[in-house]
A and B are shown apart, each in its own frame.
Chain A
C-alpha cells in the first residue's frame, strides 16, 4: 500500500488501463529527471475517493466524477500532446512545494 513517508501521486483514468498507463510512464520519466522521490499509484477513477487521503496529488486523464480533498490535475495534455510542458511544470512545482512543507512538519 501507500508509504506514508513518501509523497504519492494517484494516476487515474476510467478503466485504469489505457491512458493512465501512458501518464504513469511519462511521470516516472519526469520525476526521475527532476530527482523527485515520488510513489506513483495507478488506479481507476472510481478508486480515487478511497485512496486520496494518503496521496499528495491526483492526476486524471478523465473527468472527475466528484470533488476530492486532495488536489487534482487533468492529465489530458499527456494524451493529446497539447500543453504537456506546462502540465509538467505545474506538477513538478506542486510536488516540490508539497515536499518542502511536509519536511518542515516532520
Chain B
C-alpha cells in the first residue's frame, strides 16, 4: 500500500494527448510544480537525464517509461502517472540506440534513496504485470488508475 501514499490524483493524467516527449514532460511537470512537489529545475533536469540515461522499458508486449532525476530537484516525493492517447517514443534504458513506443509513463520524484525499497518494489510489480499496465491503458479516469495501484499488494497475495 506504500505506493498509493506517493500518489496524488492531480498528478494522474488519463488519455493525455501530446506530440512529443518534451510536451509530455512539460505537462507532467506543470502540475507537480504547481502543487509544490518539485523545484523549477526539475523539468530541465528530467529532460537532460532522459537524453543521457533513457528510461524506456520494453516488456514482452507493452512498454512503459519511468523518467526521474536527481533528488535535489524534488521537494516532496511523488509518483505521477500519464496514460497516452497516442504513444510517445522513448529510448530504452539498457540501450539508447533502440526506441520503444510508450503508452504509460510513471514519472518518479524521489529524494530519499534508501528508504524507498518497498515503494519501488511495488512499482516494479505494477509494471511487470501485464494486467496492471493494460488496466491503466484502458482506464477512463484518474480513480481507476489509483485503484490499480491500490490493489497491488492484495492482488499479489490473492493471485498467482
Chain A interface residues (CB < 8 Å from chain B): 13-19, 21-22, 24-25, 42, 45, 61-63, 65, 74, 76, 79-82
Indicate if B154 sits at the interface (CB-CB under 8 A).
no
Within the assembled complex, what's the spacing in Å between the Cα atoms of A18 and B53?
A: 13
Beyond A21-B114, A25-B121, A81-B128, whether A15 also contacts B60 by CB under 8 A is no
Q: Name the A residues within 8 Å of B95 (CB-CB).
A: 63
Within the assembled complex, what's the spacing in Å between the Cα atoms of A64 and B21?
A: 23
**Could you list 29 A-B pairs, sorted by A, with CB under 8 Å?**
A14-B49, A14-B52, A15-B49, A15-B68, A16-B113, A17-B68, A17-B70, A17-B113, A18-B110, A18-B116, A18-B120, A19-B93, A19-B120, A21-B116, A21-B117, A22-B117, A22-B121, A25-B117, A42-B113, A42-B114, A45-B53, A61-B93, A62-B93, A63-B96, A79-B57, A79-B124, A80-B57, A80-B128, A81-B59
Give the Cβ gap from A30 to chain B, nearest Cβ, in Å: 15
Q: Looking at A17, A19, A62, which has the most chain B CB atoms within 10 Å of its CB?
A: A17
Indicate if B71 sits at the interface (CB-CB under 8 A).
yes
B71:A76 contact, CB within 8 angstroms = no
Chain B residue with Cβ nearest A14: B53
Q: Name the A residues within 8 Å of B108 (CB-CB).
A: 18
Cβ proximity bits B36-78 to A, threshold 8 Å, 1 near / 0 not: 0000000000000100111101111000001011110000000
A21:B57 contact, CB within 8 angstroms = no
Within the assembled complex, what's the spacing in Å between the Cα atoms of A22 and B110?
A: 13
B52:A21 contact, CB within 8 angstroms = no
Within the assembled complex, what's the spacing in Å between the Cα atoms of A14 and B60?
A: 24
Q: Name the B residues within 8 Å of A17 (CB-CB).
A: 68, 70-71, 110, 113, 116
B94:A82 contact, CB within 8 angstroms = no
Chain B residue with Cβ nearest A22: B120
Give the Cβ gap from A23 to chain B, nearest Cβ, in Å: 10
